[in-house]
A and B are shown apart, each in its own frame.
Chain A
């Protein structure tokens, strides 16, 4: 090999180490365009002048109130049920492998499952002729499917893993030994909770609740399958938006913008706390 050719090959190596190969850069740009351009189009094509009128229509307000009400209720339920589940998951590291993996898989399922499947599964459990639904109806006269309650149940089903994984991540960082270290430094139980456990766990719980809320707010597949689309009862914003697309696209776009605005608010609210615990 001549000196000149070895120098040029060395330069090529240095060159390729500093910069990405062009096909990768092109693909990455295409991927980014795929993520951003649709949202840009939505904002650019929006009927901005008519927007105030569209957003105060009764059908829109109804869906808005229902969506926020159910998503908040689902988030509250996820907090009540999900924080203890996260605590169990965080302590499960000492368990035998099989039950530990099964537990983690069970919590992860809703993340990878098509939501419609979740809706059908919920019907098999809580439907009028479902495993538990039949008993509820016969014994207590309680009907779950196609009610506002069913909307909340469907939202909890799909949103729970987001909360559980976010809280689990923060519980791990607040491990038991951190609390013991605090005790050796003179902290009482209350002080340990106040100065160590709470500050370590609270950001994870808050981030988890916000993610959980946004997932619940956007829920479509499981909701329409398990709860249907009754105006004012189960017709949430995403469902109303989907239906409006067939009759009144401007209203659909207005609803979509509303959901986009909430999503952006969630993103801004989370910033660097983005999904610390979700490794699924």
Chain B
């Protein structure tokens, strides 16, 4: 079950999303497919419903209608713990009472087995993410970049079939953002499964993928590559966003 990072994996399944979610009075609807190894960036203004769509895929908010499939497996009736969907939350939401090692070992521990076995399974992940020197630290003692690394290692150590990233850069200082973008892109490539990135920054999206979906006020307003969006922005928001990022 536990797999050392870097070993060759089976081909990973695609993610098929067609969801309708209610948030207060707002109805949010989005439909898209994500192929393994080809991340999709969901871009939109604040309050567009991006994070809600992500949460619905993970099973953290209930669907009004529609469904979520991973390969041939319909997961929308399954609880979050059975979906095998990894999530990196906006402010990382590390377990404050566990050190870095036990945060990364959490999924292995939940699968059963002893604490020692879970910690042993976490070691290669700690090494791979450069976290071994920080293994004994508590989340409160980490910088933003370090916390992001832990959050990613913790999610991927659970060996999910799908990875969801919710504004992973927004909690970081501007100076480290460029560096962390490159690092994140590397790790997502190595993960190789279907990946969805939620962001309001075209630069964050561009670091990870060329494939973009624009969500505004709960509706998908455009889909395409960044170049296609630039050539023919479908809404004033898309135009403003890309103009702002070009500066």
Contacts and interface: CB of A to CB of B under 8 A. Distances in A.
Given A173-B96, A196-B95, A199-B97, A184 B109 contact: no
Interface stretch (B12-20, B83-91, B229-237): B83-91
A195 interface: yes
Interface residues of B, number: 26
A188 B81 contact: yes
Nearest to B82: A186
B111 A184 contact: no
Contact of B110 (A173, A177, A195): A195
Contacts of A186: 81-82, 84, 107, 110-111, 158
Interface string B136-157: 0000000000000000001100
Interface string A161-193: 000000000000100011011111111100100
Interface string B73-113: 00000011111111101000111110000000011011100
B96 to A, nearest CB: 6
Contacts of A184: 58, 60, 80-81, 83, 85-87, 155, 158
Contacts of B94: 181
A270 interface: no
A61 interface: no
B109 A195 contact: yes
Nearest to A180: B60
A183 B79 contact: yes
Interface string B115-154: 0000000000000000000000000000000000000001
A200 B89 contact: no
Interface residues of A, number: 17
A184 B110 CA distance: 11
Interface in B149-188: 154-155, 158
Is chain A's binding surface mostly helix, strand, loop or mixed?
helix
A182 to B, nearest CB: 7
A157 to B, nearest CB: 33
Contacts of A199: 97
B233 to A, nearest CB: 34
A183 B60 contact: yes
Contact of A177 (B85, B93, B154, B155): B93
Contacts of A183: 59-60, 79-81
A185 B158 contact: yes
Contacts of A173: 96
A200 B106 contact: no
Nearest to B102: A195
Contacts of B87: 181, 184
Contacts of A196: 95
A187 to B, nearest CB: 5
Contact of B95 (A180, A182, A188, A191): A182
Contact of A178 (B79, B83, B93): B93
Contacts of B59: 183
* Closest 4 pairs between A and B when the two form their complex, measured CB to CB: A183-B80, A181-B93, A185-B107, A186-B110
Interface of B: 58-60, 79-87, 89, 93-97, 106-107, 109-111, 154-155, 158
16 contacts: A173-B96, A177-B93, A178-B96, A180-B60, A180-B80, A180-B93, A181-B89, A181-B93, A184-B86, A185-B106, A185-B107, A185-B158, A195-B109, A195-B110, A196-B95, A200-B97
Given A184-B85, A185-B110, 12 more contacts: A178-B93, A181-B87, A181-B95, A182-B95, A183-B60, A184-B86, A184-B155, A187-B81, A188-B81, A195-B109, A195-B110, A196-B95
